[in-house]
Chain A
């Protein structure tokens, strides 16, 4: 068990003024069996109306509208989380089925199918979904190189597989695609890691009535240095900052995350 202090800053800079800006933010860490949020402060700029709710995947959201013209939209979330990786998130098997099916972003094509095919003999010999997932994670880790700047937020698992490169989101999507080919329910997780930088992404696989988190980017189990923000079928369900607005022109987004142990 660890106590972590986190700071999340997101800023959207517009080239020309934006107005009638509707937003939904999923950047507040979830409260679940593994982690509890003990302190939390949220600030959104500029002036706005906003409200909170929990979405269909159990993620906390802040949504609202900023009417006034602005060239910068920013959100800051600060707080403390107590994380305990020895605890498990449990769920009944008849309620996790929706995580067993491919989405637009995870749908496999020839590249992923071939990749999966290569492991099929080994997979057939395994009877536990967790072992299967761990094997696929290892294969993935040693077959691809972490390469920033090649893929984007809309890159599908199949495209990433074809490019043989990508970032944490792509690793997570490829893992989801492979697990779903094995009919294992699994979900995408957006979160933060100890240190300073950007947000991170990993997955949870459903095995023996529990959600087990795995980090395919690092080929390892998720420990107490990870703070989970949200979960969903793929990255789209976990979009941290979603918005529609008028005007704005070109936009540029800055994200900065600091997580330290206390």
Chain B
């Protein structure tokens, strides 16, 4: 089957996705809007050999990141040995002092990681970002694959594409591995969350209960789920899709009404598993990103398999010099921002904007990182009856169960704007399935 033939099904698959509620919500100017997440029929194809390389690199990277989080909230050896300056740890927004000295079940902090990669024109892969808090996106290629298989079974017979519908099994294995006894639940903030479709889909696929905060209660140091008949059942694992600050008003943001009072207190005692662990943000901060390859060497004694995009920390004098001298060829990122916000290109600034920015950079050097603009390899998308090239990234999912697992698929996001490098769904991007071709 060729690409044109595949594209014929574009409208019908997108219609089906809309019918299944494959949407995400965004808040703009204080109003909640739901948008469809446009799906492009042309898959990103990665061959087994290339994926094997990514898989090894991803396992290594996430293992090191997990070791880092454990170290920071524990012994702090990496600070003692001067590999990561303490300033980057403690003044980052992701560090939570409330997590000091807390050891999660089996020492796993990063159960579900979403690692964002891009491929350069020369074919080499770069990690752009690690997402260790509540990365979303796995459900989109899962359901898209399912619908495409139903609509075009022949394509999947002819090619040996790794089945990606095992994500639910992998996730279940990850949750069961740390479960402290009792039910497994997926905790959602509710219907108006941007990723609500994903919460309900993953619950359905894994057989976990989909719950909101008011259905969970802490009693006698255990967590219970209250079912519709009022019966209480013990909960041993919570895949929580609400952020750290809202998880428990007694330990984090006091104003939270969607959290569960005292859940963190009993987690501290080892009575329930929380996936991902609160406090993980300390490792996926844009400032900490710079140090990830060094973490691999430090904790694992190995050479990093995956590389970062060439990054400069203006915090270091030499890097600041480089940034000032090569300003126009760099992209600058505010470490506190996410979702494609706070990203500016040196070349696109007016003289005045540039002067203002440099003044700010000199005043708060720790707040920014600078990166070389990678010449992305474009990938084809189908738009208005034509095949056109667009920028895209790949979010790979790495699950830490009894061993690290890499999902043989991933979420490929693309920018619909031909001039934009920003692929985030909140900025109007679309998505593709990712096919890993078996040999």
Residues of chain A having any CB pair with chain B under 8 Å: 22, 24, 49, 51, 53, 55-57, 61, 63-65, 92, 94-95, 97-98, 100-101, 233, 237, 242, 244
Q: Tell me if B98 and A63 are in contact (CB < 8 A).
A: no
Q: Tell me if B97 and A53 are in contact (CB < 8 A).
A: no
Q: Tell me if A244 and B90 are in contact (CB < 8 A).
A: no
B window 205-234: CB within 8 A of A: 218-221
Q: Tell me if A98 and B97 are in contact (CB < 8 A).
A: yes
Cβ-neighbour of B89 out of A57, A61, A64, A97 (below 8 A): A97
Docked pose: A55 CA to B250 CA in angstroms: 12
Q: Tell me if B218 and A56 are in contact (CB < 8 A).
A: no
Complex interface: chain B residues within 8 A of A100 (CB): 86, 90
Q: Tell me if B221 and A56 are in contact (CB < 8 A).
A: no
Q: Tell me if A56 and B100 are in contact (CB < 8 A).
A: yes
Docked pose: A101 CA to B269 CA in angstroms: 28
Docked pose: A51 CA to B220 CA in angstroms: 8
The answer to the question of B254 belonging to the interface, with a C-beta cut-off of 8 Å to chain A, is: yes
Docked pose: A57 CA to B251 CA in angstroms: 13
Q: Tell me if B254 and A242 are in contact (CB < 8 A).
A: yes
With contacts defined as CB atoms under 8 Å apart, how many contacts are there between chain A and chain B in the complex? 61
Chain A, residue nearest B265 (CB)? A63
Q: Tell me if B221 and A97 are in contact (CB < 8 A).
A: no
Complex interface: chain A residues within 8 A of B95 (CB): 98
Complex interface: chain A residues within 8 A of B221 (CB): 51
Q: Tell me if A56 and B98 are in contact (CB < 8 A).
A: yes
Q: Tell me if A95 and B76 are in contact (CB < 8 A).
A: yes
Q: Tell me if B250 and A237 are in contact (CB < 8 A).
A: no
Nearest chain A CB to B267 CB, angstrom units: 11
| 9 further contact pairs, Cβ within 8 A, besides A95-B76, A98-B90 | A56-B98, A56-B99, A63-B265, A64-B262, A94-B79, A101-B87, A242-B250, A244-B249, A244-B250
Interface 1/0s, chain B 247-281, versus A by CB < 8 A? 00110001000000110010011000000000000
- Ordered by A's residue number, 30 sampled pairs between the chains whose C-beta atoms are within 8 Å are A22-B249, A22-B261, A22-B262, A24-B262, A49-B220, A51-B220, A51-B221, A51-B265, A53-B265, A53-B268, A53-B269, A55-B98, A56-B98, A56-B99, A56-B100, A56-B101, A64-B262, A65-B218, A65-B219, A94-B79, A97-B89, A97-B90, A98-B90, A98-B95, A98-B100, A101-B91, A233-B97, A237-B97, A242-B254, A244-B250
Q: Tell me if A244 and B261 are in contact (CB < 8 A).
A: yes
Interface 1/0s, chain B 46-71, versus A by CB < 8 A? 00000000000000000000000000
Nearest chain A CB to B247 CB, angstrom units: 13
Docked pose: A110 CA to B39 CA in angstroms: 52
The answer to the question of B80 belonging to the interface, with a C-beta cut-off of 8 Å to chain A, is: yes
Complex interface: chain B residues within 8 A of A57 (CB): 97, 100
Q: Tell me if A63 and B250 are in contact (CB < 8 A).
A: yes
Chain A, residue nearest B96 (CB)? A56
Nearest chain A CB to B393 CB, angstrom units: 33
Complex interface: chain A residues within 8 A of B79 (CB): 94, 97
Q: Tell me if B262 and A65 are in contact (CB < 8 A).
A: yes
Complex interface: chain A residues within 8 A of B102 (CB): 56
Cβ-neighbour of A94 out of B80, B99, B265 (below 8 A): B80
